[in-house]
Structure 1
Amino acid sequence: MTQAFDIVIVGAGMVGAALATGLGRNGFRVALVDRGSAPTFDASLSPDIRVSALSAGSERYLAELDVWSDILSMRATAYSRLAVWDETQHPLSNLFPRKIAEVVFDARNLSTSHLGHIVENRVTQQALWNCAASLSTVSLFADNAVARLDNGQDHASVALEDGTELTCQLVVGADGAASVVRDIAGIGVTRDQYQQQAMVISVRYQGPVEDITWQGFYPSGPRAFLPLHSAGNGESWASLVWYDSPEELARLKSLDNEALMAEIQNAFPPELPPLTHIDARASFPIARQHARNYVKNRVVLVGDAAHTINPLAGQGVNLGFQDARALQNVVREARRAGLNLADPAWLTQYERQRRPANRRMMLAMDVFYHLFSNRTPPLHLLRNLGLGAAKAMPFARNRVAKYAMGIDEELPPVIRQLAERLPGLRQL
């Protein structure tokens, strides 16, 4: 059975579903393919262990898609402050106040109500699936995988495992870091594996929902706190992130909940509220990966299929939403010009917009990774001077905050200059 569409999107995660919704609202006939089932949300269940810090820019995009109100009606936690500080011990630690170089980004200094929202991935994904499914222009092909992709000169076709064949002008790979679409299209990647891994822990703590998310930086990696919603009975949910060596995280994962809770309370900064319960835990390797091209003939990549970054600031999905928004605009303009949706000039314009922007965020995250994940005394001094300068100069601090929120697109000059001096980053 063959069905014809304008665009086939492979991967109905947050980015793919957002792009399908946007294109569907613009009148394109879209096929949205995913090997999984539609996500479900149950308010009585514990939070999803996978959460994202959605920036103000992502909120605007999701509001344009008319899904942000649905997300808020399920679960989303606003945060108005973000704090970072250095927890590395050094010979002079006892002579200076703790967190002497702490930097706090505050929404009040930016004349806004909040910096962003912490949202469970399944909440965002379900809101987007529901919206896409409600559009007559979007057809969902769930529980189905790609068996074959023909990236032809005149059109493209995608054969699914159930025998369905989809023809189209453009195929979008939104199927994650291990993208099948990218591999079939023959698009290579550059990849660097970090020495650290990340462990995510879903916890309850005693106290109200906090309005701050923070990261304390240790030589073994940062330890972060992301606030979630109320759990009732005076308790609240939070997501903790612990970066460390694979060996140390394997040891931690082997502990029972009581022992792990004791380890967390001992190893995390004292700002961590008293924990009462551990619900779930998971660890994953982290890597920086960048596709050598975003476009090949009638195939174009978005989100993690095109790039993955160090998750220090949770910016991955925000970059993916920016990709989706940019591609949606480019494809719409190609149609207005009466051109084929895979016209090289327009798709090249998409890559020229997004590759530099994604590279800038990769560089920013790697600056933090290289500066903070070590015990080298000169770098320890440099990062404390940097944090101290940011603390003393509100203008510079607010520039960084606006960049992270998706308000400003330019990387702050000091971070850009540091990034260009780090090894291995010029090839991105």
Structure 2
Amino acid sequence: MRTVQTASPVRLAIVGAGPVGLALAIDAAQRLPDADITVFDARSLERDVSGDPRTLALSLGSVQWLQRLGAWPSDGVQPILEVNVSQQPPSAPPVFAALFGEPQVRIGAQEEAVPMLGAVLSYGRIVSTLQQAWLALETAQPHRLHTRFGTPVGAIKPVDGGVEIDAGIAERVDLAVVAEGGVFADQARKAVSRDYHQCAWVGTVELPPEATPGVAYERFTRHGPAALLPLPGGRPSLVWCVGSDDDPVAELNDAQRLAVLNTIFPASVTPLRSISPLKRFPLGLNAERTLTEGRTVRIGNAAQTLHPVAGQGLNLGLRDAAELVNLLRQGGDIEAALRRLEWQRGPDRWALIATTDFLARSFTWTLPGAGAARGLGLAALQALPPLKSLLARQMMFGRR
């Protein structure tokens, strides 16, 4: 890939060394050869994150980008070969179900002519891989690449022609990117915010030995969506969303939870054999109206925290990061580049925010026939291959 030098060196500060912040740092280091880049994070460099079991689902576009950066793990990754979306019965009018069966949408990598639809791996696996790649770049170019782990940023404020970063001492940079977002429950409320009064119970389950590997399942229930994300070893990650005001999962023991899940998921993946202890996370929408404010950019969860129903929040942040580097690489005025970032990323960003918000709220509707309408929508999507392929492409690469 040809490298284009910027018109003048850029001093770039990246706040947050999670997947989005580190991927941005690596891409900028490789494609902005004159840029001075500093990564800040409150976490100590000595703190080992490789064992963090939280599960992340990456789209094919995200996988390909990280592979190009040389920051994709060599093991501990499960490719997604098929996505199966269905609704717990009754999900369609009885006559329809009797004639055609319960509706579902099945999207396969083979029918889309791609090696995988995406991949699933642990948070610890991806962050440790990205961190290793970044530190290798820093070692090779210490004059312009810097790591400030164990250094929380207390404040970011605009100054004439740049941004001032307060991380113990005040430092002036040309551009600050905030990629440190946290989870919905811990965030200050942004301009667009909605508490769904739902929560996600997260853990792992054990599949029966005959289950097909590499299949991601999403099942719509009257309480909310439940998903199984494939992981190596036959123990997929479970994300089970229910209402939080009258939580039907909280008082159940593990055996009862397993019994309920075996009534939720389709016969192709049951009976589930065991379940791990589950953790509970409140769910909501929390988004900034814009990615940019002056010379400060927010990406990832710092820009928008979404309901997990579409599983696309991380992928959106990675696409924002890649486009930011693309625009900076063209050189010229930084503020003009940030205006272009806002315009170019707006359609993809707001389409995903609107879609996840609509789906999340639809599970709280008590309108008669809402579930049947959702089931018929799934059946229609499966029956229209061009529309289904369009959806698959958006899942893999975002809105283009």
Report the TM-score when normalising by structure 2.
0.86
Mean alpha-carbon deviation: is it higher for 319-328 or for 96-105? 96-105
In the other structure, the counterpart of 2:70 is: 66
Match of 2:231 among 228, 248, 255: 228
Is residue 16–residue 39 contact of structure 2 (8 Å, CA) maintained in 1?
Answer: yes
Is residue 196–residue 361 contact of structure 2 (8 Å, CA) maintained in 1?
Answer: no
In the other structure, the counterpart of 1:155 is: 162
Is residue 217–residue 373 contact of structure 1 (8 Å, CA) maintained in 2?
Answer: no
CA distance in 1, matches of 2:195, 2:153: 27
For the aligned residue pairs, the C-alpha RMSD in angstroms reads: 2.8
In the other structure, the counterpart of 1:170 is: 175
CA distance in 2, matches of 1:215, 1:92: 21
1:86 is the counterpart of 2:87: yes
1:123 is the counterpart of 2:125: yes
Mean alpha-carbon deviation: is it higher for 121-130 or for 374-383? 374-383
Task: Look up the equivalent residue of 1:224 and give its one-letter code.
Answer: A
Q: State the shift of 1:278 in Å.
A: 3.1
Is residue 198–residue 284 contact of structure 2 (8 Å, CA) maintained in 1?
Answer: no
Q: State the shift of 1:374 in Å.
A: 3.8
Of structures 1 and 2, the one with the larger relative CO (CA 8 A, separation 6+) is 2
Distance 1:258 1:50, change over 3 A: same
1:52 is the counterpart of 2:56: yes
Deviation readout 1:275-302 (Å, 9 max, x if unpaired): 4443342121221222123222221111
Deviation readout 1:125-149 (Å, 9 max, x if unpaired): 1111111111124322112211233
CA distance in 2, matches of 1:259, 1:188: 38
CA distance in 2, matches of 1:327, 1:268: 40
CA distance in 2, matches of 1:363, 1:394: 24
In the other structure, the counterpart of 1:133 is: 135
In the other structure, the counterpart of 2:199 is: 197
Match of 2:360 among 369, 391, 395: 369
CA distance in 1, matches of 2:197, 2:101: 26
Q: State the shift of 1:14 in Å.
A: 0.6
CA distance in 2, matches of 1:313, 1:151: 35
Is residue 164–residue 171 contact of structure 2 (8 Å, CA) maintained in 1?
Answer: yes
In the other structure, the counterpart of 1:211 is: 214
Deviation readout 1:390-419 (Å, 9 max, x if unpaired): 12111111111111111x625xxxxxxxxx
In the other structure, the counterpart of 1:244 is: 242
CA distance in 1, matches of 2:324, 2:58: 20
Is residue 83–residue 215 contact of structure 1 (8 Å, CA) maintained in 2?
Answer: yes
CA distance in 1, matches of 2:198, 2:258: 21
In the other structure, the counterpart of 1:9 is: 14
1:319 is the counterpart of 2:322: no
Once the two structures are superposed, the pairs formed by residues 301-340 of structure 1 within 5 Å of their partners are: 301-334=298-331, 337=332, 339=333
CA distance in 1, matches of 2:242, 2:155: 39
Deviation readout 1:39-93 (Å, 9 max, x if unpaired): 6466xx7xx442121111101211121112xx1x231101211111121437954
In the other structure, the counterpart of 2:3 is: none
User: Runs of 5+ in structure 1 lacking a partner?
Assistant: 231-235, 411-428
Is residue 88–residue 217 contact of structure 1 (8 Å, CA) maintained in 2?
Answer: no
Distance 1:353 1:375, change over 3 A: same
In the other structure, the counterpart of 1:104 is: 106
CA distance in 2, matches of 1:214, 1:275: 13
The number of residues matched between the two structures is: 380
CA distance in 2, matches of 1:258, 1:216: 20
Distance 1:272 1:164, change over 3 A: farther
Matched residue SS, 2:347? helix
1:351 is the counterpart of 2:342: yes
Q: State the shift of 1:262 in Å.
A: 3.4
CA distance in 1, matches of 2:115, 2:245: 41
Q: State the shift of 1:243 in Å.
A: 0.8
CA distance in 2, matches of 1:81, 1:176: 30
Is residue 206–residue 235 contact of structure 2 (8 Å, CA) maintained in 1?
Answer: yes
Task: Look up the equivalent residue of 1:308 and give its one-letter code.
Answer: T
CA distance in 2, matches of 1:375, 1:90: 15
1:409 is the counterpart of 2:396: no
Identical-pair percentage: 26
In the other structure, the counterpart of 2:284 is: 287
Task: Look up the equivalent residue of 1:218 and give its one-letter code.
Answer: T
Report the TM-score when normalising by structure 1.
0.81
CA distance in 2, matches of 1:132, 1:76: 20
User: Runs of 5+ in structure 2 lacking a partner?
Assistant: 1-8
Task: Look up the equivalent residue of 2:326 and give its one-letter code.
Answer: N
Matched residue SS, 1:100? coil
In the other structure, the counterpart of 1:389 is: 380
CA distance in 2, matches of 1:398, 1:90: 23
